[in-house]
A = this chain, B = another copy of it.
Amino acid sequence: MGEFDLLERIRERLPPAGPRTLLGSGDDAAISVPGGVTVTSVDALLDGVHFRRQWSDPARIGAKALAVALSDLAAMGAEAGEAYVVLGIPTDLDEDGCLALLDGMGRVAEETGTTLAGGDVTRAPALTLAVTVVGHAERPEDLVTRAGGGPGDALVVTGELGGAAAGLRLLEQSEAPDIGHARGGSSSDALIARQLEPKPRLAEGRMLAKAGAGAMIDLSDGLGGDARHIAEASGVGLRIEAAALPLAAGLAEAAESLGRDPLELAVRGGEDYELLAAIPPERIGEAASEIEKHGGTVLTRVGEIVAGEGLEIRLPDGALLEATGFDQLS
């Protein structure tokens, strides 16, 4: 099947375009009517680097690629708009696999109100996905960067942490020949789902923006590393209480079976795609109530911003988690 045939098949299956899209895939370029400001991010995912095909299936890989890209728009408090997808196809992914991948992506597009407005298809030595997403807002001041956190702001986190990192470890463990069936149980499945099927917190991001968030970031590289980005961009210090962190359900049990510290997975692991935001403390109640009403996501206060610099995560006994240890888990 040639590139043109595959593109034609893909176009036939695309969900309907949203109202901003005047012209979708099939011409030299797509035409959109933007909001007052646009927010754009691009993410690349490659087999063997960002995912492993043997751990997932094309539909979930496509869904994750779009979800991960949209998570950056969530972190800006933007409304999802359009996505443009490069699909690099290796020889061992057949037409059905390509279409399943696009279907998975299409499902996330429909769930999030995103229009798949264009793309490019090519041969590639490994399955390659590059997703550009465009979000919209009325005014620049409706958006939240990493740079506007100030002393006195409370730090809040959406949802639960550590699940995706535990899921990754469970997948790795299931591959080791001697302990192939060590994983099991529904809580393990839920943790693995956190790794394979992340959800972008788009509505939550917009609600946090409306509640006056001064700085926000999505937790892709792990709380430790990402919190540090806010500290640097805002020129402030972040203080987080380890005991307050919302650990994923089943994390303690999974961590024990993996020989890991659950806190390590929550702080140093990545890919939870939850949001960390700095908001005025008096507005936490309003934000938490809006967010929980919307989709049941819990908002948790985990710390505060202080004058100074850097990130400190305080353990229940008063000791600090070692600052040098906040790299992404290898």
Contacts and interface: CB of A to CB of B under 8 A. Distances in A.
Given A28-B218, A31-B140, A126-B125, A44 B86 contact: yes
Nearest to A30: B40
A39 B282 CA distance: 42
Contacts of A44: 86, 88, 120, 122, 130
Copies of the polypeptide in the assembly? 2
A26 B229 CA distance: 10
Contacts of A132: 40, 42, 84, 132
A241 interface: no
How extensive is the interface on chain A, given as a class? Answer: 35 or more
A82 interface: yes
Interface in A12-65: 22-23, 26-34, 36-44, 46, 48-50
A216 B27 CA distance: 10
A246 to B, nearest CB: 21
B32 A37 contact: yes
Given A40-B132, A44-B130, 11 more contacts: A22-B37, A28-B146, A29-B72, A30-B41, A31-B38, A31-B39, A31-B76, A40-B82, A46-B123, A48-B125, A124-B128
7 contacts: A27-B233, A28-B72, A29-B73, A29-B135, A32-B37, A41-B84, A50-B122
